[in-house]
Amino acid sequence: MKKVITAVAVLATLATGALAEENRALEGRKGQFNILALNLGVLGGMAKGSVPYDAAAAQAAADSIVGVSMVHQATLFPEGSDNMSIDETRAQPSIWENWADFESKWADLGTAAKGLQTAAAGGQEAIGPAMGPLGGACKACHDTYRAPE
């Protein structure tokens, strides 16, 4: 019983504190974008030929991008975490005014990621063409919803 109470207390502590939660969301979303960029870099290097093509590594990078694309965005973008309300973010308030469009741009990323996942094992020449739509999906959202540095 004591264990249960302790566990509940720990969970409650972890879950409370609006500020802590906001920071976690901020770190979480930046983390996901950095995972995307890292894996895109791996594939970009192979597409350009600056890194030798490796089917397993290409597949792993594409799989990771698909995995991130499956993360639902609502918990990472709580209301009030825009760049007018808090520091250290480039998320524009327009995200929350156009939430359905933001989610649809995220879904476009998922579609492009799946295309890349299929192409990744197909050899060096297959990667570049499949990266185009993915890069386009990143850019479409950044141009609209990410503030310039």
To ligand HEC, the closest distance from the beta carbon of 36 in angstroms equals 4
- Window 41 to 80, contacts with ligand HEC (CB under 6 A): none
Nearer to ligand HEC, 38 or 121 (CB): 38
Please give the distance of CA 147 from its chain centroid, rounded to a whole number.
16
State the Cα–Cα distance between residues 69 and 106, nearest whole angstrom.
7
> Does residue 37 interact with ligand HEC by CB under 6 A?
yes
Exposure string (b/e) for 30-56, b if CB count within 10 Å is 16 or more? eebeeebeebbebbbbbbeeebeeeee
To ligand HEC, the closest distance from the beta carbon of 10 in angstroms equals 28
State the Cα–Cα distance between residues 50 and 58, nearest whole angstrom.
14
Cβ atoms of 62 and 115 within 8 Å: the answer is no
To ligand HEC, the closest distance from the beta carbon of 134 in angstroms equals 5
User: Please, how many CA atoms are within 13 Å of residue 6, restricted to the half-sphere of its CB?
Assistant: 3
The label of the residue with tokens 């009030």 reads 80
Residue 120's Cβ-count burial label (10 Å; 0-12, 13-18, 19+) is buried
Stretch that binds ligand HEC, among 7-15, 45-53, 124-132, 133-141 (CB under 6 A): 133-141
Nearer to ligand HEC, 6 or 129 (CB): 129
> Does residue 40 interact with ligand HEC by CB under 6 A?
yes
> Does residue 99 interact with ligand HEC by CB under 6 A?
no
To ligand HEC, the closest distance from the beta carbon of 1 in angstroms equals 42
**Which positions lie near ligand HEC, rule CB under 6 A?**
26, 29-30, 33-34, 36-37, 40, 89-91, 102, 105-106, 109, 134, 137-138, 141-142, 145-146
